[in-house]
Amino acid sequence: MSSRRNASLVVALGVASLAATSLAAMVATSELLVESFDYPVSGPVDPPVPNLGRPGVLQPDTAQDRHHDGGSPVGSGDGSQPPSHRQKGWPTGSK
Flag whether 51 is in a domain.
no
Rounded to an integer, what distance in angstroms lies between the CA atom of residue 93 and that of residue 54? 30
Q: Is 12 within 8 Å of 5 (Cβ atoms)?
A: no
Predicted local confidence at residue 73, as pLDDT: 52
pLDDT at 22 over 70: yes
Flag whether 17 is in a domain.
yes
Flag whether 24 is in a domain.
yes
Flag whether 21 is in a domain.
yes
Flag whether 16 is in a domain.
yes
Number of domains in the chain: 1
Flag whether 33 is in a domain.
yes
Q: Domain span at residue 12?
A: 1-40
H-run or E-run covering 72 = none
Flag whether 18 is in a domain.
yes
Flag whether 77 is in a domain.
no
* pLDDT-based confidence at residue 17 (cuts at 50, 70, 90): very high
pLDDT at 58 over 90: no
Predicted local confidence at residue 90, as pLDDT: 58
The whole-chain average pLDDT of the chain stands at 75
Does this model's pTM top 0.85? My answer is no
